[in-house]
Chains A and B, each alone.
Chain A
């Protein structure tokens, strides 16, 4: 029994880290652009495809594949900000509807280009660590280490560089940030580009675990949604806490009551949080 509990806690933390990688870009985009980005999952999907073609087809080393997904998403994200989202600045609702349209476009273009059949990405490593009965697949360990490195770099960038400070200032107050010389015209595309790139790297990392197909973006988007609602839209510390919470709730509930019960419990929790504290656990008060 205690093995079961520890195993499910370990699984929960792993899940939580994966969710965090997805949610942090999503919440950053909302914080900077005030857009609830329904197309976030499609950037995950594109990242998974990029990694698949670079690693499994072209035979490039895995880190190069991830870097390729990152670079591609940065460019694509910046272009999309200019073409799609620019007219909707200051209009949260229209921006969100536009992102639904964007998600439809990206997913179905991928469907046209790559077909509906799931592709399987070869694992980097096989086997599992076994510590006194607690099992940890090596492929997951790789993903976790990769995620942690990316999150650490991102944290450093956001907290200790000039651009990172500018982005945080923009999240706090756009007008004052602009008055202090933050170049909003550069930061908006950068915000979406970074969000897209984080999602694409998540896709590249998780492709060996969850496969590659035009539809793989749906579930990670949903998880990012849940994390961000629980933690507060636009709050990065909130996303950290909420993704760990979500991972732990999912793995413990599904270990003891089954996977579909876990889903229902999570959605009920989401609705409860939205009703009691719409701004989330650590979000700013508004709405």
Chain B
């Protein structure tokens, strides 16, 4: 009996090392794929995946204190518009635009976070839903800032001094490095004291409060970090796509981030990466059949929620446990 448990322990451990190795290799292969194929279309998809990873990572940080934000797309929008205005109106360099986008979104989150985060659960979801609509309506109302419903085109490409990243192949390294940096940042947060406070608040806010954690401040911090990351994604997006319209930041954008987060794994570090990797390429490959793809999204969301509430990331663990039980 003892021997058999020891054996399954060994197989499980090796399963894990093999699994992790395979996951790392798959990520590397995915990252290098466009470089090897050299196709601009593949570069485009890879860039969109990186942008989705960054934004969804931000949503994941907010989810770490147990809150689901339906205005994440609006924060991506705030970042995109801030950077666009900095670069196009004030003629600042691209980097300044990105920094401004992160600072402004974090400030907005800090300002509204206090009263907003007193609400929890479905009430928080409802107010963030209303905020996302409000953002879109206000942007449509002020065409001087946003270009109104016709949007703003010809946003300058990302550049560092004389190095202009105006092609997909040259923008991709920037997008990839940014995604890696954001994942690393969130990993750091997870390992720090702050990360432990986040999960304490997520698990039981009353208990967290009674053990001396400043729950309001902890939630605010997660909201500020998550929204700042969204702003970063927005700035990159603005200078990559070169076109912004209030309709880009429709409620559906927020929903797509939620789908990626839930499908990948709500609280797992690699959840957003897995979710974005699987769900972003679909619209590009299924161009002609948007509605089939949306049906697939809906089914995936419900199936994952019912059978794998911790997302696809928890699948190997589930399989290992099933195997161990036999």
Contacts and interface: CB of A to CB of B under 8 A. Distances in A.
Given A93-B68, A102-B298, A109-B295, A274 B119 contact: yes
B122 A108 contact: no
B130 interface: yes
A114 B75 CA distance: 35
B307 to A, nearest CB: 8
A271 interface: yes
B15 interface: no
Contact of A287 (B121, B138, B295): B121
B295 A112 contact: yes
Contact of A101 (B133, B137, B301): B301
Nearest to B126: A229
A105 B293 CA distance: 10
A229 to B, nearest CB: 6
A225 B123 CA distance: 11
B299 to A, nearest CB: 6
Interface string A83-126: 01001100011101110111111011101100000000000000
A233 interface: yes
Interface stretch (A141-149, A180-188, A260-268): A260-268
Interface in B49-103: 68
Contact of A105 (B116, B118, B126, B295): B295
Contact of B291 (A36, A93, A94, A112): A112
A108 B126 contact: no
B51 to A, nearest CB: 21
A93 B134 contact: no
B126 A101 contact: no
A101 B68 contact: no
B291 A264 contact: no
Interface string A198-225: 0000000000000000000000001001
Contacts of B68: 93, 97
B305 A94 contact: yes
Given A97-B68, A222-B133, A287-B120, A271 B298 contact: no
A270 interface: yes
A84 B123 contact: no
A119 to B, nearest CB: 17
Contact of B302 (A84, A107, A222): A84
Q: Which of A98, A107, A111, A222 has the most CB of B within 10 A?
A: A98
A274 B126 contact: yes
Rank and list the top 8 A-B pairs by shortest CB-CB distance, nearest first.
Answer: A101-B301, A104-B298, A105-B298, A108-B291, A101-B298, A108-B294, A111-B291, A267-B134
13 contacts: A93-B121, A97-B68, A97-B258, A97-B301, A100-B298, A101-B297, A108-B291, A225-B129, A229-B130, A267-B133, A270-B127, A274-B126, A274-B130
